Amino acid sequence: MLTVHFFDVPHEIYWGLLIALYFYYTGMSAGSFILTSLGTVFGIEKYKKVSKVGVIMAIVLLLFAPLHLLFDLSQPGRFINLFTHVHLTSAMSWGVYLLILYPVCLMIYAWFLFRQDFVKGLNQGGFKASLYRFLLFGKTDMSEASKENDKKQAKFFGTLGVPLALAVHGYTGFILGNVQARAIWHTPLMPIIFLMSAMVSGTGLFIIVVMLVEKFKFGRLNDDIKSLIADIANLMKWFILVDGSLMIIYFIVLWYSSESGYAAGYFLLHSEGWSFLGLENVLGMLVPFLILLSKKARQSLPAVVTASLLTIIGVLAMRINLVIGGQKLPLTGSKIVEYVASGRDIGIVIGIAVAATAVLTFFYTVLPMNRPGAQEIKSTPTTKGVAQ
């Protein structure tokens, strides 16, 4: 007699919270840089006022993003293998080099944006002057020809940075979209969905950071900046609309594509309903979209901040739902794979977030964020406690 034994093969979720946060950080970096480029690359004058804010934010987020990958490896030194084993047909292999080229391009772009302000700040003495002198690398020429070269080079590297920004975040969508065994991931829409959600979260964080820099660096938000924030909020409204439309199309295709696709759609609606429907789509997309539909609301800073915070939360939920949720449906068997983030992973996520915030605050404090019509707050008895 032939006896057949069936074993309940255990499954494990290998791409957990740290991988989802890596996708999240790279997305916000790409989104904020695209907004920055509207001024220097596409020539929209009003956006030049916040170009420096955006590029610093894009650089810092991108520098901290790969730390999630390194901590996720049981042996972090193994990341070197990605440099020594190149596979031209692998999106992950391309991503390694994009993660080098993109931040280098951004730093060169930022240097040309800041160079003239570094030279002007040399006469103030102290730590800042020493820092500016170091960052200038001896390039203190302030002739008209040199200034014109700064403008041309900033536009060149900014233009180069746009496709790199799209590629850096788009490749993460390609990584998931090419996994045929995972119904939630396997769709040609995945790179576009990742890019549009990156624009939403990047814009939301950008608005909040611009407001904080204006408040603590220059003392207040003048009418020009308030008007610019309203314009950026209007852009975010359209980003949300496109992102929401893509998610609807994605879900319809998923639901009717195959038996596994239907199971994945059912899983998102029922097992992950509170996160997928409630947190990601209703709270993270629908509510901020409805808020920003009103022109009066877009001109209200509290309303814009609320909408921005909701989009940041919603896109974070989206990254978790897709990355982790996509692995909860087992490849064999019928038991949903459970995932609980470890205390170690949660601690790492919090630690990286705190470190990134501290580095951002440091750069915004010490770098010359000069723009026309604004004067930095100086440390005086009447402005006690306000950092320059």
What's the pLDDT tens digit per position in 348-386?
999 999 999 999 999 999 998 876 555 565 544 443 433
What's the pLDDT tens digit per position in 76-135?
666 777 677 777 777 777 778 888 899 999 999 999 999 999 998 888 778 888 999 999
What contacts 15, CB < 8 A, 6 or more positions away?
323, 324, 327
What's the pLDDT tens digit per position in 147-200?
999 999 999 999 999 999 888 878 888 888 888 888 888 888 888 999 999 999
**pLDDT of 208 strictly over 60:** yes
What contacts 58, CB < 8 A, 6 or more positions away?
29, 30, 32, 33, 36, 106, 165
- Averaged pLDDT, 268-284: 90
DSSP character at residue 74: S
What's the pLDDT tens digit per position in 54-66?
999 999 999 999 8
How sure is the predictor about 333, in pLDDT bands with cuts at 50, 70 and 90?
low
Q: What is the pLDDT of residue 270?
A: 86
| Percent above pLDDT 90 for the chain | 46
> 13-17, 147-151, 178-182, 216-220: which range is least confident on average?
216-220
What contacts 138, CB < 8 A, 6 or more positions away?
none
Q: What's the CATH class of domain 17-367?
A: mainly alpha
Calculate the CA dihedral of residues 261, 263, 264, 265 and round it to 10 degrees.
90
Please give the distance of CA 59 from its chain centroid, rounded to a whole number: 10
- Shortest CA distance to 13 belongs to which of 323, 273, 263, 275? 323
- Averaged pLDDT, 259-264: 86
314, 279 Cβ separation under 8 angstroms: yes
- Averaged pLDDT, 13-34: 90
- Averaged pLDDT, 11-17: 81
116, 147 Cβ separation under 8 angstroms: yes
